[in-house]
């Protein structure tokens, strides 16, 4: 329905800034909108009729955001609308067929939407819309994993880097869990990329081992000039290293044995107050202070199990194994990242398996040391956002 469902009895244009329709056209009067006032337009039903109507209003000189669907039969009317949006900076488009993209590529002039800075849509149309335009933000929206054969994705990303050298944010869906896409993105975009989101599908290639992958070894060779951050010593300082630690806290507990209940309590309480993600419940006030208030430098960091060659023993095609490979320096990320999001593609038939808070805490801590520009992270848990505020991760 229209976001503004008004009964307007006159022909006076309505000074609406945002117009959103997602059902069949209803009242004639609602379409009397001032073209000068409109800044955001979303049309996801009866598109051709609305394309024609808004084009007839004249130039939409203040329209900066457009969200719509396009079929091949509507390509011409969609093009005419774009030609009437000289200030458009954000385009969210769903294109239903390759034929539609081919038709648009033949009729979309390079002078259309010259200020476009943000594109969200299918991968096969991304080059069409970013070419010759100052696009800095790209979200690829295909949900079908068959749309992402590695060669096609790699080729498209290479084209994006050439056509949008100032790209700052990139979102890619439907990637198999594994290091391949991260090697590709890092080798292509280097230090220019600031925000990266990857939606992974839960499909593990059989017998895949990062340490024996011919493709990854070749990719590493091609990345010889890439400056990865050094792998730092991640050892957690012992209590005896602290200058102000009490005698009780500095006692040698190497022979100390905890019960299962005490181990569980320690796992719960060693989440630092400086490392609490949003929506995490506060610790109980009865828990000892030395567990509640823990120094950032002593945040709980479980050891990562690695083989004799330094590769993690966890499969790199699992969430844990991929994160282990990243924090151990075997899989790179763009060096200047400020925002990093790893999430699963939504599947209503399965329950999202999330990393627990302690695992996330460990990875956030290690990543913040390797990539000090990071300000926000999501680590395979879409409901848990880690943000850096006032030098504290919460």
What is the arithmetic mean of pLDDT over 102-107? 92
Contacts of 43 by beta carbon, 8 Å cutoff, 6+ apart: 20, 21, 50, 51, 67, 68, 69
Q: Is residue 329 predicted with pLDDT exceeding 80?
A: yes
> What count of residues does the chain have?
394
**pLDDT, tens digit (0-9, with 9 covering 90-100), for 340-351:** 999 988 665 555
Pairing of strands 90-95, 65-70: parallel
> pLDDT grade, residue 274 (50/70/90)?
very low
What is the arithmetic mean of pLDDT over 26-32? 53
Phi first, then psi: what are they for 127, rounded to 5°?
A: -65, -40
Domains and CATH numbers, the chain: 18-167 (3.80.10.10)
In angstroms, what CA-CA distances link 377 with 90, 200, 317, 321?
A: 24, 15, 20, 18
Q: Is 167 helix (H, G, I), strand (E, B) or coil?
A: coil
pLDDT for position 187: 95
> pLDDT grade, residue 236 (50/70/90)?
very low
Q: Is residue 259 predicted with pLDDT exceeding 80?
A: no
Where would I find the beta strands (DSSP E) of 184-266? 195-201
Cα 265 from Cα 286, distance rounded (Å): 12
CB 138, CB 126: distance < 8 Å: yes
> pLDDT grade, residue 276 (50/70/90)?
very low
Spatial CA neighbour of 337 closest among 380, 385, 374, 369: 374
Cα 258 from Cα 270, distance rounded (Å): 15
The DSSP output letter for 373 is T
Pairing of strands 40-43, 65-70: parallel
pLDDT for position 89: 98
CB 297, CB 281: distance < 8 Å: no
Task: Give the count of alpha carbons within 13 A of 73, CB side only.
Answer: 4
Neighbours of 123 (CB within 10 A): 20
Task: Kindly tell me the burial class for residue 383, based on how many C-beta atoms sit within 10 Å of its own C-beta (0-12, 13-18, 19 or more).
Answer: exposed
For the chain, percent of residues with pLDDT exceeding 90: 42
What is the arithmetic mean of pLDDT over 260-279? 41
In angstroms, what CA-CA distances link 321 with 244, 360, 383?
A: 37, 13, 21
Q: Is residue 321 predicted with pLDDT exceeding 50?
A: yes
What is the arithmetic mean of pLDDT over 371-394? 91
**pLDDT, tens digit (0-9, with 9 covering 90-100), for 66-92:** 999 998 888 999 999 999 999 999 999
> pLDDT grade, residue 97 (50/70/90)?
confident
């Amino acid at each position: 329905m229209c976001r503004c469902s008004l009964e307007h009895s006159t022909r006076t244009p309505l000074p609406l800034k945002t117009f959103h329709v997602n059902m069949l056209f209803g009242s004639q009067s609602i379409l009397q909108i001032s073209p000068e006032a409109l800044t955001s337009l979303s049309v996801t039903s009866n598109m051709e009729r609305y394309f024609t109507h808004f084009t007839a209003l004249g130039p939409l000189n203040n329209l900066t955001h457009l969200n719509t669907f396009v079929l091949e039969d509507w390509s011409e009317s969609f093009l005419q609308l774009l030609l009437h949006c000289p200030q458009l900076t954000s385009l969210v488009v769903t294109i239903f067929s390759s034929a539609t993209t081919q038709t648009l590529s033949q009729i979309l002039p390079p002078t259309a939407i010259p200020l476009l800075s943000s594109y969200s849509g299918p991968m096969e149309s991304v080059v069409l819309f970013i070419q010759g335009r100052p696009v800095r933000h790209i979200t690829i929206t295909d949900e079908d994993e068959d749309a992402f054969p590695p060669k096609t994705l790699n080729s498209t990303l290479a084209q994006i880097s050439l056509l949008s050298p100032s790209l700052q944010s990139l979102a890619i869906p439907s990637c198999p869990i594994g290091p391949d896409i991260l090697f590709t993105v890092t080798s292509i975009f280097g230090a220019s990329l600031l925000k990266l989101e990857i939606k992974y599908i839960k499909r593990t290639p059989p017998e895949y081992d990062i340490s024996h992958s011919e493709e990854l070894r070749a990719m590493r060779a091609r990345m010889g000039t890439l400056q990865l951050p050094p792998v730092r010593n991640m050892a957690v300082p012992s209590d005896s290293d602290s200058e102000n630690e009490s005698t009780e806290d500095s006692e040698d507990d190497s022979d100390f044995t905890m019960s299962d209940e005490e181990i569980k309590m320690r796992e719960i309480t060693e989440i630092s107050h400086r490392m609490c993600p949003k929506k995490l419940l506060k610790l109980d006030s009865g828990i000892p202070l030395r567990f509640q208030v823990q120094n950032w430098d002593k945040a709980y960091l479980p050891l990562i199990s690695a083989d004799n060659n330094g590769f993690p023993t966890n499969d790199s095609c699992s969430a844990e194994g991929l994160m282990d490979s990243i924090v151990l320096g075997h899989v790179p990320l763009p060096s200047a990242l400020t925002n990093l999001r790893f999430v699963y593609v939504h599947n209503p038939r399965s329950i999202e398996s999330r990393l627990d808070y302690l695992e996330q805490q460990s990875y956030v801590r290690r990543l913040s040391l390797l990539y000090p520009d990071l300000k926000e992270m999501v680590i395979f848990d879409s409901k848990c956002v880690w943000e850096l505020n006032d030098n504290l991760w919460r």
